[in-house]
Amino acid sequence: MLEFDPYLAPFTTFGIQANADRVVAVESIADLITLFSKKPFPRILGGGSNVLLSGDVEGTVALMRIRERTIEREDADHVWVRFGAGEVWHDVVTWCVQQGWGGLENLALIPGTVGAAPMQNIGAYGVEQNAVFDSLVALDTETLDETCFDAPSCEFAYRDSVFKHKYRYRMIITSVTYRLSKKPVVNTTYADVWNELEAMGVTDVGIADVYRAVVQVRTRKLPDPKQIGNAGSFFKNPVVSADLHEALKSEYPTMPAYPQSNGTYKLAAAWLIDQCGWKGHRRGDAGVHANQALVLVNYGAATGAEILQLATDIQASVLEKFGVELEREVNVW
At 121 the pLDDT is 95
Give me the phi and psi of 211, to 5 degrees please.
-55, -50
pLDDT in tens, 124-178: 999 999 999 999 999 999 999 999 999 999 999 988 999 998 998 899 999 999 9
Residue 57: partners with Cβ closer than 8 Å, 6 or more residues away: 8, 18, 19, 20, 21, 43, 333
- Cα–Cα distance, 161 to 53 (Å, whole number): 22
At 283 the pLDDT is 96
At 67 the pLDDT is 97
- Cα–Cα distance, 286 to 306 (Å, whole number): 6
CB–CB of 129/121 below 8 Å?
yes
Which pLDDT band holds residue 306 (cuts at 50, 70, 90)?
A: very high
At 158 the pLDDT is 87
Residue ranges with strand state E in the chain: 2-4, 20-26, 43-45, 51-52, 57-64, 69-74, 78-84, 123-124, 127-128, 133-140, 146-150, 171-181, 229-233, 239-240, 257-259, 265-267, 282-283, 286-288, 295-298, 331-332
Does residue 1 carry a pLDDT above 90?
Answer: no
Does residue 195 carry a pLDDT above 90?
Answer: yes
CB–CB of 36/141 below 8 Å?
yes
Centre a 10 Å sphere on the Cβ of residue 166 and count the other Cβ atoms it contains: 11
- For the chain, give the mean pLDDT: 95
Domain ranges of the chain: 2-64, 69-181, 229-332
Q: What DSSP character marks residue 163?
A: G
CA distances from 262 to 120, 201, 240 (A): 21, 37, 11
Would you call 74 a catalytic residue per the annotation?
no
Average pLDDT (109-135) is 94
Which pLDDT band holds residue 203 (cuts at 50, 70, 90)?
A: confident
Between residues 222 and 277, the one the model is more confident about: 277
The CATH architecture of the domain made up of 2-64 is: 2-Layer Sandwich (3.30)
Question: What's the N-to-C CA distance of the chain in angstroms?
Answer: 23
At 248 the pLDDT is 97
Residue 131: partners with Cβ closer than 8 Å, 6 or more residues away: 103
CB–CB of 104/114 below 8 Å?
no
Identify the active-site residue in 159, 179, 212, 218.
Answer: 159
CATH of domain 69-181: 3.30.465.10
CATH 3.40.50.720 applies to domain 229-332: no
Would you call 170 a catalytic residue per the annotation?
no
Identify the active-site residue in 49, 161, 175, 233.
Answer: 233
Would you call 159 a catalytic residue per the annotation?
yes
**Residue % of the chain over a pLDDT of 90:** 91
Average pLDDT (92-110) is 97
pLDDT in tens, 28-87: 999 999 999 998 999 999 989 889 999 999 999 999 999 999 999 999 999 999 999 999
Average pLDDT (206-233) is 93
- Cα–Cα distance, 108 to 96 (Å, whole number): 11
- pTM score, whole prediction: 0.85
Does residue 255 carry a pLDDT above 90?
Answer: yes
At 169 the pLDDT is 87
